[in-house]
């Protein structure tokens, strides 16, 4: 991955804007999911989402770069890395079902901690004062943005499954960049989302053979079809391409700081649809943004007196 110290400030700012766009597009898919969750199991929905995302990106990959990259890439490795991303999504659904939405939201907010820990362990990142301050501000902002009064926090199996989701997604995102250095962001994303689709579809088929009922297609209409396209092609395929671009430039640790502003993006979308403005989430997003800029040295910290 590109060293942050070697990236100009303008390059870091553009990478942060790309990451913000990724989070905004990803957040836009959350309301769309409300139409789909009652219609099928979590594994079926995850498999369908990953499959459609892969089907959207593979032709685009061929159109932009030709068949050569697809023929020479290591597909087994792609399936293995993609499985981490796919099962990360599945663990989150399972964790939320057992621990509740608040548990899933709180544990997901720890993604920056896991991302920075992974970089410290595997990439030799130093824990600077600016990085620690930025991380703390991002976590505080993430907690402020969550509606912790809407349910009870559970630290049982649900929280453990949610943490497994965070760990799988962090490792999968990092490996998407590091394991395929010769591929472009579109190639890396198409490859690993195809791997995620293969893994989840296999599990869904095994569950179907074990007696899990198939989705009832009579319940589907044009609203559900549009929601599925937004959820799979927009919130997954396009968002993941932008996410991998930002991870390549900033690293998984700094990119993951942005995820704690996702509740604000959801609020922005709902506000555009007529919901009231939430000043507390706006303040939380501003705090996350300041933390992101401090962690990267774009906003310098005052020097400590000796």
Q: What is the pTM of this model?
A: 0.84
Contact 239, 27 (CB under 8 A): no
Position 113 scores a pLDDT of: 85
Contact 23, 261 (CB under 8 A): yes
Position 92 scores a pLDDT of: 79
Domain map (residue ranges) of the chain: 4-295
**Hey, what are 228's tokens?**
């599925």
The average pLDDT across 76-92 equals 90
**pLDDT tens figures, 270-303:** 788 777 887 887 888 888 888 888 887 777 777 7
**CA distances in angstroms from 126 to 116, 253, 298, listed in the order given:** 10, 12, 17
Cα torsion angle, 266, 272, 275, 278, sign: positive
Burial class (CB in 10 A: 0-12, 13-18, 19+), 303: exposed
**pLDDT tens figures, 132-177:** 888 888 888 877 766 555 555 556 787 888 889 889 999 999 999 9
- Mean residue pLDDT across the chain: 83
pLDDT at 202 over 90: yes
Position 155 scores a pLDDT of: 65
Position 257 scores a pLDDT of: 85
Residue 67 DSSP SS3: coil
The average pLDDT across 120-129 equals 83
pLDDT at 110 over 70: yes
Position 8 scores a pLDDT of: 62
The average pLDDT across 59-71 equals 94
Angle at 115 between CA 166 and CA 180, to 5 degrees: 95
């Amino acid at each position: 991955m590109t060293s942050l110290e070697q990236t100009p400030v303008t390059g870091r700012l553009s990478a942060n804007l790309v990451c913000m766009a990724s989070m905004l597009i990803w957040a836009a898919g959350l309301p769309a999911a409300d139409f789909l969750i009652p219609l099928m199991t979590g594994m079926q929905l995850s498999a369908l989402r990953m499959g459609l995302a892969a089907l959207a990106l593979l032709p685009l990959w061929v159109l932009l770069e030709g068949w050569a990259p697809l023929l020479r890439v290591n597909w087994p490795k792609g399936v293995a890395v993609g499985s981490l991303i796919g099962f990360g999504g599945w663990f989150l659904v399972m964790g939320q079902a057992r621990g509740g939405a608040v548990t899933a939201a709180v544990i997901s907010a720890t993604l920056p901690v896991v991302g920075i820990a992974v970089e410290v362990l595997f990439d030799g990142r130093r824990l600077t004062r600016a990085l620690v301050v930025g991380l703390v501000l991002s976590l505080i902002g993430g907690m402020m943005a969550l509606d912790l009064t809407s349910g009870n926090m559970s630290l049982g199996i649900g929280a453990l499954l949610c943490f497994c989701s965070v760990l799988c997604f962090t490792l999968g995102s990092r490996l998407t960049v590091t394991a395929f250095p010769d591929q472009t962001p579109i190639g890396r994303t198409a490859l690993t989302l195809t791997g995620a689709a293969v893994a989840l579809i296999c599990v869904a088929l095994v569950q179907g053979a074990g007696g899990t009922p198939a989705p009832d297609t009579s319940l589907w209409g044009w609203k559900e079809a549009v929601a599925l396209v937004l959820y799979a092609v927009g919130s997954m395929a396009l968002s993941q391409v932008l996410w991998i671009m930002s991870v390549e430039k900033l690293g998984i640790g700094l990119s993951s700081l942005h995820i704690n502003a996702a509740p604000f993006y959801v609020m922005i979308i709902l506000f555009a649809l007529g919901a009231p403005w939430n000043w507390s989430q706006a303040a939380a997003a501003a705090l996350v943004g300041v933390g992101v800029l401090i962690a990267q040295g774009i906003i310098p910290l005052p020097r400590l007196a000796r």
